[in-house]
Homo-oligomer: A and B are copies of this chain.
Amino acid sequence: MRVSKSFIPTLRDDPAGAEAVSHRLMLRAGLIRQLAAGIYSMLPLGYRVLRKVEAIVREEMEAIGAQEFLLPALHPAELWKESGRWDSIGGEMFRLRDRKDTEMCLGMTHEEVFTAIARDEIRSYKQLPQTWYQIQTKFRDEARPKSGVLRSRQFTMKDSYSFDVDAAGLDKSFDAHAEAYKRIFSRCGIASVPVEASSGAMGGSESVEFMAVSDAGEDWIVQCDGCGYAANLEKAQSAAAVVEDQGDTAALEKFPTPGVRTIEDLVSFDGGATAERQIKTLVYVVDDEPVLLLLRGDDELNEVKAMDALGMQALRPAHPGEIRKLLGADPGSLGAVGVTNAKIYADAMLRGCNGMTTGANENDFHLRHVDVERDIAKIQWVDLRSTREGEACVACGKPLRVCKSIEVGHIFKLGLRYSEALGAKIQGADGKEVPLVMGSYGIGIERIMAAAIEAHHDENGIIWPQSIAPYKVVVAAVKMKDAKQAEAVEKIYQDCIDAGFDVMMDERDERPGVKFKDADLIGIPFRIVVGARALEKGNVEFFVRATGEASEIPLDQVISELKKRMI
């Protein structure tokens, strides 16, 4: 490829509003441009990377026997109503009506469509197992699109679906995917960490996320260096220190707490309580019903844990008016003692606690000597709290680490979730009808690109892993108008093409500094520079982007040197 004829709109300066490194560099290197909030155009250089990632994904999927489909993005609402997700999924789904006023949506995932095909076409266990995949465009109307292609509203996904006759078959399909995913990320230059995860809107019994540790990520993961335990914060548990039994059997006592509005206020209030001895009372609305969520004062609610615990896919904090109507007081003085008009869910850390303090449901009053199980009616015990850095691992007791990461893949044991809802049954070996046992598996293609950049860059730009670099080699002359240099550049360029390397030739009439800056910014692994002085000795400069290593080598050894270094 000749740079002078190509469209690579690099930017000298950081674009406004792009915080994540990968977002900034993808814009600056001319890989992407934004069309609308969370919607990006892939420019030629970006699309080359995307296709290289796709090719790796495709190879690894074929290696586990998966067959490639291409399903529509436009889905009839009907199918999603059959699965129940038309109602359970909220604003994330793009919905529309066609010219005949038929309800449709844009596919955010394809469990429904693939299950419907299996339902119509698979009759017998003899046709199993089957693994079907596609690399296709997904649409999700994210509330807060962010960080370029990391959280966007339209993106490319490899999604696959396994169909087995029983749970043992599913386990095999699931494990095969886990192994394929590890190979894919590793081949793309990403160190991935598989973690236990919430299955969320997908349903099913078990799921594993593949995480690339990075400050640009929006997920928090919990890891134990001792035993290797790893989980998304939305799922992670710890052996958190339990506050000892206070042996407080005193009767409830209401006391005035003028001006106290927060946990911290009550800590510093004369006659108040430490955070660990307070009950935090949160009011949420689930399915139009208010619920109370109780945590120890020093713990934070994890909303995904709450959704999983309640078996819901959406909940929201109650509005002030709703709270006042329910409990007769404002936040700051709320409590669950004596409450009978709402369901009460309490975090397991509160179990057996006495000598606690909580709001009295009367502004500026609290209750002390609360014994949780004695004084609060009909508690349902659940896991609501976020695990914290340094807490002990449940398995081995070592301190846990919490860090940010990018979710690059997610695999689910769906079980019968969709086959039962859609009636996808087959004849088992014993002649009886059984529902298909399913798994689903997703990888975000653009996220892999961004995660690779997050992991491989420096102050000058991207440092592509060879496997997914848009081009592997760039050839340039210090002075293109020098006929000898131009000739050498053309020769090296042609030799690279003949050797089958992805090569670009920067034959622009620009200062060398501009060309080198661009090459560094777009992250081409190897740069060959032809300059007058070295050329007189029959040499050229050989520069390795990843290491910064620069050496002079004979012109006629360029190809062999490249071959040696290509992975």
Contacts and interface: CB of A to CB of B under 8 A. Distances in A.
A94 interface: yes
Contact of A7 (B72, B76, B121, B141): B121
A331 interface: no
A36 B70 contact: no
A235 to B, nearest CB: 27
B33 A72 contact: no
Contacts of A121: 7, 9, 33
Nearest to A97: B96
Contacts of A35: 71-72, 75-76, 113, 116
Interface string A131-151: 010000101010100000000
Given A7-B67, A33-B117, A121-B7, A137 B44 contact: no
Interface in A1-27: 5-7, 9
A72 B154 contact: yes
B69 A41 contact: yes
Contact of A73 (B9, B141, B154): B154
A121 B33 CA distance: 10
A5 B41 contact: no
A6 B141 CA distance: 35
A392 to B, nearest CB: 41
A69 B96 contact: no
A40 B43 CA distance: 28
A73 to B, nearest CB: 6
A137 B71 CA distance: 11
Contacts of A96: 94-96
Contacts of A565: none
A44 B72 contact: no
A130 B7 contact: yes
Contacts of A106: 74, 106
A72 B35 CA distance: 8
Nearest to A142: B99
A50 interface: yes
Interface in A243-271: none
B42 A98 contact: no
A68 interface: yes
A559 interface: no
A41 B94 contact: no
Interface in A33-52: 33, 35-36, 39-44, 47-48, 50
Contacts of A67: 6-7, 44
Interface string A111-128: 001001100110000010
A91 interface: yes
A153 interface: yes
Contact of A117 (B36, B41, B75, B102): B41
A104 B35 CA distance: 12
A70 B47 contact: yes
B98 A69 contact: no
A397 interface: no
Interface in A71-115: 71-76, 91, 94-96, 98-99, 102, 104, 106, 113
Contacts of A75: 35-36
B94 A71 contact: no
A71 B156 CA distance: 11
Contacts of A328: none
A139 B99 CA distance: 13
A352 interface: no
Interface centre among A7, A68, A121, A127 (most CB of B within 10 A): A7
10 contacts: A35-B75, A41-B113, A47-B69, A50-B70, A70-B156, A73-B154, A74-B94, A91-B99, A99-B141, A137-B137
Closest 6 CB pairs of A and B: A96-B96, A42-B70, A91-B99, A44-B67, A36-B76, A9-B121
